[in-house]
Structure 1
Amino acid sequence: MKANTQSKREFTGKQMLLTVLGFFGIVIGVNLTMATLASTSWTGLVVENTYVASQQFNEKAREGRAQAALGWEGRLTIVSGEVRYSLVDTNGTPVPLHGVRVLFRHPAYDAQDRAVTLAAASDGRSDSLGEFAARHTPKDGVWIVEIDADAGLALPFRDIRRIMISKGALR
Structure 2
Amino acid sequence: MDRVSYTPKPFTGRTVLFLLVAFFGVVIGVNLVMMKFAIQTLPGTEVDSAYSASLAYEGEIAAAHDQNARKWQVDAHVQRGPDGGATLQVEARDNNGRPMSGLKFQGRFERPTDRRADQAVTLAETGIGIYRGSAPLIAPGQWDLVLQGDAAGRRMFLSKNRVLLN
TM-score bin (small chain): 0.7 to 0.9
Residue type of the partner of 1:38?
A
| Alignment gaps of 5+ in structure 2 | none
Q: Deviations over 1:145-171 (max 9, x none)?
A: 2211246795321111232222xxxxx
Do 2:120 and 2:135's aligned partners in 1 also have CA atoms closer than 8 Å? Answer: no
Q: Normalised by the size of structure 2, how large is the TM-score?
A: 0.73
Q: Secondary structure at the match of 2:107?
A: strand
Match of 1:38 in 2: 38
From the superposition, tell whether residues 110 and 47 of structure 1 become closer, same or farther in structure 2 (CA, over 3 Å).
Answer: same
**Count of residues paired in the alignment:** 158
In structure 2, relative to structure 1, the CA distance for the partners of 1:19 and 1:11 (3 Å cut) is farther
The structure carrying a bigger strand percent of its residues is 2
Could you list the per-position Cα deviations for residues 67-95 of structure 1 after superposition, in whole angstroms to 9, with x for gaps in the alignment? 1333434322221231111234567x354
Q: Which runs of 5+ in 1 are unaligned?
A: 123-128, 167-171
What is the RMSD of the two structures over their aligned residues, measured on CA atoms?
A: 3.2
- Please tell me the residue identity of whatever aligns with 1:39: I
The residue that corresponds to 1:78 in the other structure is 78
Q: Give the aligned partner of residue 16 of structure 2.
A: 16
**Partner of 1:134 in structure 2?**
133
Identity of aligned residues (%): 24
Please list, as runs of the form range in 1=range in 2, the aligned pairs for 1:48-127 lying within 5 A after superposition: 48-79=48-79, 80=81, 81-88=86-93, 93=97, 95-98=99-102, 99-122=104-127
TM-score by length of 1: 0.71
Q: Secondary structure at the match of 1:96?
A: coil
Amino acid at match of 1:156: M
Work out whether residues 143 and 164 of structure 1, in 8 Å CA contact, stay in contact via their aligned partners in 2: yes
